């Protein structure tokens, strides 16, 4: 197996940290990106270094703030300077929020969209010129089953942003296949343990609106939603399965990688809905004579 140079965004914790560790264990050179590596994330940088030394793997942390193009450009440039290539991008950076949609300000929604969607655009603009020159590459997008499966209220801004990211991933796949760049979309569901779904979720800025909901017909509704998740999600589901799915995709040969991989212990129906949605989209490509866009083309590197 050829060692790949991989950038994982949002790798300070959760799915990103698990994926970075697992990819390094699989023999790849992995850059686990995070911001404030000399500040609040310094303990996580130290932990990653200790893990790499103990396990004998090539796991490196890199300063990269996905909210600024300059930081993204600098991070990707550092990787290119050290290896003269970048083979895989794992779009994992994201932020979840919880509360009544009306209580979030428009500025908060813009920020949530920025982290979950615009961050991927910044990274793509920095990395794709190198991948196109190489004539091969892989984009792995960590989406959400909420983009097509059954959903519960009070997660509206996050769900809307993830749906936007998923739609962007699909269109990028078509526009990159002729450059030899492959796409795989990982679709995790919710997990009862280990994924920090609610513990670290952002809250609405308009506390007065939240109070109105609590004083009205939605009293204790947030608590009821969390209890409902607890009832339908298996306690023993391992969020590490998401990292395992990412490793499997990366280690699959070029041209054979699945377009979508579902890792959903709650079985919210996304695997059924996306099967129909993706089929309809593919049929449009077939009808209009663009069926070749469904698979990456073998392309020679450019000088």
d(CA 265, CA 234): 7
The string of DSSP letters for 96-127 reads -B-S-GGGS-HHHHHHHHIIIIIHHHHHHHHH
Active site (catalytic) residues: 158
First and final CA of the chain: distance in angstroms? 25
Q: Which residues contact 219 (CB under 8 A, 6 or more apart)?
A: 213
Q: At 32, give phi and psi (nearest 5°).
A: -90, 110
Cα 223 to its chain centre, rounded Å, is 27
Torsions phi, psi of 260, nearest 5? -135, 140
Task: Kindly report the backbone phi and psi dihedral angles of residue 299, in degrees, each rounded to the nearest multiple of 5, phi listed first.
Answer: -130, 140
Instruction: Residue 131: name the closest of 96, 176, 163 by CA.
Output: 176
> What CA–CA distance (Å, rounded) separates 147 from 80?
33
């Amino acid at each position: 197996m050829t060692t790949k140079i991989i950038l994982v965004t949002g790798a300070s914790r959760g799915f990103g940290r698990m994926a970075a560790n697992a990819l390094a264990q699989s023999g790849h050179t992995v850059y686990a990106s995070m911001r404030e590596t000399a500040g609040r994330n310094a303990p996580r940088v130290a932990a990653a270094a200790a893990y790499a030394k103990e396990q004998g793997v090539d796991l490196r942390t890199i300063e990269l703030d996905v909210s600024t193009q300059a930081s993204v450009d600098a991070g990707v440039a550092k990787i290119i300077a050290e290896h003269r290539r970048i083979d895989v991008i794992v779009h994992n950076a994201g932020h979840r929020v919880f509360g009544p949609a009306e209580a979030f300000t428009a500025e908060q929604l813009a920020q949530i969209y920025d982290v979950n969607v615009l961050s991927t655009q910044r990274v793509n603009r920095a990395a794709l010129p190198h991948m196109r020159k190489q004539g091969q590459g892989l984009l792995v997008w960590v989406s959400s089953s909420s983009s097509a499966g059954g959903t519960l209220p009070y997660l509206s801004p996050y769900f809307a942003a993830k749906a936007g990211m998923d739609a962007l991933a699909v269109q990028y796949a078509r526009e990159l296949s002729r450059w030899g760049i492959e796409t795989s979309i990982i679709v995790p569901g919710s997990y009862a343990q280990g994924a920090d779904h609610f513990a670290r979720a952002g809250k609405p800025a308009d506390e007065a609106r939240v109070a109105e909901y609590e004083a009205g017909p939605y009293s204790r509704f947030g608590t009821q939603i969390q209890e409902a998740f607890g009832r339908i999600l298996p306690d023993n589901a391992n969020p590490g399965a998401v990292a395992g799915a990412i490793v499997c995709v990366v280690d699959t040969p070029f041209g054979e990688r699945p377009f979508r991989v579902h890792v959903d212990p709650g079985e919210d129906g996304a695997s059924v809905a996306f099967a129909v949605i993706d089929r309809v989209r593919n049929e449009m490509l077939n009808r209009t004579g663009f069926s070749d866009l469904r698979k990456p083309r073998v392309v020679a590197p450019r000088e």
